[in-house]
Amino acid sequence: MTDRTTDNTAIIDATTARNEILRVENLSLWIKKGADEIQILHNASFSIKDGERWGIAGESGAGKSMMMHTVAALLPNGSTRTEGAILYRLKDGSWQNLFDIPYAKRHEFVSKRVAFIFQDSIHALNPNERIRKQWAATAKLHHPGITDEECEEHLLERMDTFAIPGGMGTLGSYPHQLSGGMRQRIAIAMALESQSKAGAYEPSVRNGIIVADEPTTSLDSISQRSVVDYIEYICDKGGKTLLYVSHNLGILQHLCDNLMVMKDGVIIEQGRADDLFFRARESYTKAIVRETLNVMGKTSGGMS
Amino acid sequence: MSDIATQTTTPSNSSVVLEVRGLVKEYRKAGSPFKRADTFEAVSNVSLDVRQGEIVCLLGESGCGKTTLARMIMHLTRPTAGTITLNGCEMQGLNERRFRPLRQYIQMVYQNPFDCLDPSRRVGSLLEEPLKLWHPELSKEERTRRISGMLQECGLDESCLVKKPRQFSGGQLQRLSIARALLVDPKLLIADEIVSALDVPIQNQILDLLVRMKEEHGFSVLFITHDLSVARKVSDRVIVMHRGEVVGFGATDELLENPSDPYIRKLADSVFTFEGCPD
Amino acid sequence: MKSKVIIWLLFAAFVVFLLVVPHANVKLTDLTSVFQGVSPEHWLGTDNLGRDLFALMVVGGQRTLLVVLIATVLSFVGGSLLGMLAAYRGGILQVVIQFIADFVTVVPSLVVALVFSGLFGFSSVMAGVVFGIGNMGQYINLSYGLAAEVKEHDYINAETSLGARSPRIMFGHILPNIARQLVVYMGNNASSVVLQYAGLAFIGLGVDTTNPDWGTLLYDYRIYMITNPELVLIPMAAICLLALFFHYAFDDGKVNQEELTIYD
């Protein structure tokens, strides 16, 4: 595995000095179903640089969510088979293939680098526990050795960062006592604990990636807007890299500067978002652009 | 406020198919034996009209009461107060037996395509049942002919008849649902979030199908959705609901471009517009 | 699936065998040939009174099967219907039916059987009826739970709005969707009826020794457990095997492949 030094990338992209932090090479995924195997991903390859915002578009069943789960080491062991490489950039600049790490340790490795926002984030909250208890548990997981007072301070500081009002009152509440919007923010903040700094205990994760897997699919328009705006806010503030899975091209256009389109487990096209929205090369990409314009009532002269 | 939602953009001499006045649905929250239970109103004093040949959109977020309203119109729940007049006949007070003959005039297509057809039956038998019920005078051949005709109009073919619901995709199931509802020849079709669970290309197909069938068969549609783009695309007139109440109404484009109500403005602002060029 | 078919074919053969095989008269005692071992005239030997054990087992088997049949049919049909009705109709009907279910579950069937046999004399048919009613409570609860869940699905609303009447909805759309689980439960239930009936006979309600059941045999032969263990082991084995058979014969090992989902 060749080392990519920061010098090379600085020359290539001098203005933004972005490094590659994640590389996926020829990733294929099979799921075992009884005696058969079904291939879910076919030779997916892409590269993510620090600070980039990537949208992953495609219909349901295209494999977008599976691909993200694979990259984040969230797949069960027995029922899947993979080929290819998922390479994470380490602090010293070298690359680590996720598949070279024993299965049991993979999630630990990934959780220090990737914050995963699931489709049903809000349901990640335990209705029977106060917010403080749940959040503290997650925080302690990522900052081992932290004392209770330090944890409390940490939570309050995080609430500030994430614009969650209410301070101690909110921390002492149960989920059902808070509004839906608040719950979302807390759930997202909890998901981002791995990306946090806690005094002198653990320096902030440099190559932090946020993966959001269709986080607004089950929400209505106003809540959806609020979550998307929020994710944008977090990314702006922390300079995070974003991988956002959605079948809604409007959201992706709003949030992302790069885009990959998937169909049946294959990355059909990838590149700068504007290039795909306005000057797509593949007919499938053109088709989904057309259909999205159609459902918004704007036919652009193409057939529906 | 209650009367104004009935204003329409279609000529006012076209007949009213559905008339709802002052409809209320109250639910009691669980209370203790020592305190009278609190109530909350899922639907609060809602009035609206649907006229012949219209597509009226009921727009609102989840929890705003639109599904409760639809269930009351479908006589699946009793309203606490108010009137529902279908085809000139006031029906909210009728018991099931008296209402049943009216069921022919009003049908509903449901949100979850995977849940609206009995999984234990073949599609053919599910389509035959309502036809046998409402048109017992038809012979077996005539029934088969009608069913095939309707399937074709909905973009499906006869091979569907021997299959079971789980063998179909979401889009196909919605087509079947529409076909089934239209077989009894209703005057009003309520479409409850029928495309929300579908991918965008399929959404377009189903919406196009609905509009086409409406033109062909002449029924009216009460289209329930939370998606503004869909509302804009499909309906002539929109009624916006929030927390059980009607907060706005009018011609779709006008209302969403110049919203007077702050909630409607927020709703309109929440849309993610999209610009693109597919060619 | 194949193994199921084989099991049921074997069982059918067994039932036919029980019904047609010629056997000695169970009432015939012969004190000159007690405790005989297996022989061509007595396939399973004889007991303490010289009765042919094989004949005793066959007759006992017939009676046990009769009891299981009556009890199972009664509780399955009655319980499923009542549970479905309670779930679909709700209201006062539901309250009444749930009370009936609780009542029959709480009252011990054995006590009821005792009372009835005191009043009307003991018979297999009566035992079957008593167990049938006694076990109905659990069917009602199961059927109620299943039907209540199915009722919430949109396809039931759809059928209502298409004009279907209550009976059609209950029998045409709710029942087919809950039948599989009810049948599985029926297997467990039939299995426990075998044991309940053996227990009843053992206690001595089947006091008429000329009409023996497997349970009665266990009771009669228990004092010979050390000297002639086969007399105890044979009825015991029969009871266990039959109970096990019913338990497994209705099991639904097939997982519906289409219902497994792979998330996107």
Instruction: Return the partners of chain B (3 or more C-beta pairs < 8 Å).
Output: A, C
Segment holding C52, helix H or strand E? none
Residues of A with CB under 8 A from a CB of B: 59-60, 220-225, 228, 247-251, 253-254, 277-280, 286-297, 300-302, 304
Q: How would you class A275 by CB atoms within 10 Å of its CB: exposed for 0-12, middle for 13-18, buried for 19 or more?
A: middle
Predicted local distance difference test score (pLDDT) of residue A75:
84
User: Among C163, C172, C176, whose Cβ lies nearest the Cβ of B134?
Assistant: C163
CA distance to partner chain C, nearest, from residue B229 (Å): 25
Nearest to C140 by CA among C82, C220, C210: C82
Nearest to C13 by CA among C184, C245, C240: C245
**Does A256 score more than 90 pLDDT?**
yes
**Does A40 score more than 80 pLDDT?**
yes
pLDDT band at B12 (very low <50, low <70, confident <90, very high): low
Residue B146, helix vs strand vs coil? helix
Architecture of domain B4-112+188-269: 3-Layer(aba) Sandwich (3.40)
Predicted local distance difference test score (pLDDT) of residue B36:
65
Distance in angstroms (rounded) separating the CA atoms of residues C86 and C102: 13
> Does residue A247 or residue A12 have the better pLDDT?
A247
Check: CB of residue A58 under 8 Å from CB of residue A248.
no
> Does residue B24 or residue C10 have the better pLDDT?
B24
Region C123-134 average pLDDT: 87
Nearest to C127 by CA among C69, C169, C173: C69
Query: CB atoms < 10 A from the CB of B163, how many?
Result: 14
Residue that has been written with the tokens 């926002």 in this structure: A117
Nearest to C7 by CA among C241, C256, C262, C261: C241
Predicted local distance difference test score (pLDDT) of residue A165:
78
Predicted local distance difference test score (pLDDT) of residue B35:
64
Region A81-96 average pLDDT: 88
Residue A126, helix vs strand vs coil? coil
Predicted local distance difference test score (pLDDT) of residue A220:
73
Chain centroid to Cα A10, Å, comes to 25
**Does B15 score more than 50 pLDDT?**
yes
**DSSP assignment letter at B40:** E
* Per-residue CA distances from C78 to A94, C99, C127, C194, C235 (Å): 72, 15, 17, 19, 31
* Per-residue CA distances from C251 to A147, A188, C77, C246 (Å): 54, 45, 19, 9
**Does A11 score more than 50 pLDDT?**
no
**Does B8 score more than 70 pLDDT?**
no
Chain centroid to Cα A236, Å, comes to 15
Predicted local distance difference test score (pLDDT) of residue C264:
34
Task: Report the predicted TM-score, pTM, of the whole model to 2 decimal places.
Answer: 0.79
Mean pLDDT, chain C, whole residue set:
84
Three-state SS annotation for B173-228: HHHHHHHHHHHCCCCEEEEECCCCCCCHHHHHHHHHHHHHHHHHHCCEEEEEECCH
CA dihedral sign of residues A107, A113, A118, A122: positive
Nearest to A27 by CA among A78, A75, A71: A71
Mean pLDDT, chain A, whole residue set:
81
User: Among B107, B115, B120, whose Cβ lies nearest the Cβ of C161?
Assistant: B107
pLDDT band at A64 (very low <50, low <70, confident <90, very high): very high
**Does A261 score more than 90 pLDDT?**
yes
Question: What does the domain layout of chain B look like in residue ranges?
Answer: 4-112+188-269
Region A190-202 average pLDDT: 57
Distance in angstroms (rounded) separating the CA atoms of residues A290 and C64: 72
Segment holding A49, helix H or strand E? strand A36-49
Nearest to C230 by CA among C57, C60, C15, C33: C57
Domain C63-253, CATH among 3.30.70.1230, 3.40.50.970, 1.10.3720.10, 3.40.50.2300: 1.10.3720.10
- Tokens of residue B168, six digits: 């179909």
Predicted local distance difference test score (pLDDT) of residue C208:
60
Segment holding C190, helix H or strand E? helix C175-200
Region B120-148 average pLDDT: 91
Residues of C with CB under 8 A from a CB of B: 153-155, 157-165, 172-173, 176-177, 258
pLDDT band at B73 (very low <50, low <70, confident <90, very high): very high
Q: Any CB–CB contact under 8 A between C260 and chain A?
A: yes
Check: CB of residue B149 under 8 Å from CB of residue C204.
no
**Cβ contact, residue pair B200, A60, below 8 Å:** no
**Does A47 score more than 80 pLDDT?**
yes
Check: CB of residue A158 under 8 Å from CB of residue A197.
no
Q: What is the pLDDT of residues B78-108, one digit of tens each?
A: 999 999 998 888 888 888 888 898 999 999 9
Contacting residues of B for A250, CB less than 8 Å apart:
271-274
Distance in angstroms (rounded) separating the CA atoms of residues A79 and C263: 13
pLDDT band at B13 (very low <50, low <70, confident <90, very high): low
pLDDT band at B251 (very low <50, low <70, confident <90, very high): confident
Predicted local distance difference test score (pLDDT) of residue A205:
44
Distance in angstroms (rounded) separating the CA atoms of residues B92 and B86: 9
Check: CB of residue B67 under 8 Å from CB of residue B77.
no
Those residues whose C-beta lies under 8 Å from the C-beta of residue C72, and which sit 6 or more positions away, are: C132, C186, C189, C190, C193
Indicate the range of A4-13, A185-194, A253-262, C94-103 predicted with least confidence.
A4-13
**DSSP assignment letter at C149:** H
Predicted local distance difference test score (pLDDT) of residue B46:
93
> Does residue C45 or residue C87 have the better pLDDT?
C87
Indicate the range of A235-239, A262-266, B189-193, C72-76 predicted with least confidence.
A235-239
Region C87-101 average pLDDT: 91
Predicted local distance difference test score (pLDDT) of residue A43:
94
User: Among B226, B233, B278, whose Cβ lies nearest the Cβ of A220?
Assistant: B226
pLDDT band at A28 (very low <50, low <70, confident <90, very high): very high
* Per-residue CA distances from C159 to B109, C163, C180 (Å): 11, 7, 21
Q: What is the pLDDT of residues C149-178, one digit of tens each?
A: 999 899 999 999 998 888 999 999 999 999
What number of CA atoms fall less than 13 Å from residue C211's CA on the CB side? 13
**Cβ contact, residue pair A293, B62, below 8 Å:** no
Predicted local distance difference test score (pLDDT) of residue A262:
94
Distance in angstroms (rounded) separating the CA atoms of residues B106 and B83: 16
**Does A16 score more than 60 pLDDT?**
no
Predicted local distance difference test score (pLDDT) of residue C225:
86
Chain C residue with Cα closest to A60:
C264
pLDDT band at B9 (very low <50, low <70, confident <90, very high): very low
Max mean pLDDT among A123-132, B33-42, B72-81 falls in: B72-81
Query: CB atoms < 10 A from the CB of A43, how many?
Result: 13
Predicted local distance difference test score (pLDDT) of residue A8:
40
Q: What is the pLDDT of residues C179-228, one digit of tens each?
A: 988 988 898 899 999 998 888 888 865 556 567 788 888 888 888 888 88
Q: What is the pLDDT of residues B152-202, one digit of tens each?
A: 999 998 898 999 999 999 899 999 999 999 999 999 999 999 998 888 889
Which stretches does DSSP call E strand in A50-161?
A: 53-57, 80-89, 95-97, 114-117
Contacting residues of A for B228, CB less than 8 Å apart:
221
Residue B108, phi then psi, degrees to nearest 5: -130, 145
Q: Any CB–CB contact under 8 A between B98 and chain C?
A: no
User: Among A221, A223, A293, whose Cβ lies nearest the Cβ of B228?
Assistant: A221
Nearest to B155 by CA among B176, B138, B131, B134: B176
Query: CB atoms < 10 A from the CB of A220, how many?
Result: 19
In chain A, pLDDT over 90 holds for what percent of residues? 31
pLDDT band at A185 (very low <50, low <70, confident <90, very high): confident
Predicted local distance difference test score (pLDDT) of residue C18:
83
Q: Any CB–CB contact under 8 A between B271 and chain A?
A: yes
**Does B38 score more than 80 pLDDT?**
no
Which stretches does DSSP call E strand in chain B?
A: 16-28, 39-51, 55-59, 81-86, 89-90, 106-109, 188-192, 220-225, 237-242, 245-251
pLDDT band at C146 (very low <50, low <70, confident <90, very high): very high
Query: CB atoms < 10 A from the CB of C27, how many?
Result: 13
Question: What does the domain layout of chain C look like in residue ranges?
Answer: 63-253
Nearest to A68 by CA among A52, A60, A56, A50: A56
> Does residue B18 or residue A304 have the better pLDDT?
B18
Distance in angstroms (rounded) separating the CA atoms of residues A86 and A73: 10
Those residues whose C-beta lies under 8 Å from the C-beta of residue C13, and which sit 6 or more positions away, are: none
Which stretches does DSSP call E strand in chain C?
A: none
Question: Chains B, C: CB contacts under 8 A, how many?
Answer: 60
* Per-residue CA distances from A173 to A120, A134, A227 (Å): 20, 11, 21
Check: CB of residue B210 under 8 Å from CB of residue A302.
no
Q: Any CB–CB contact under 8 A between B261 and chain A?
A: no
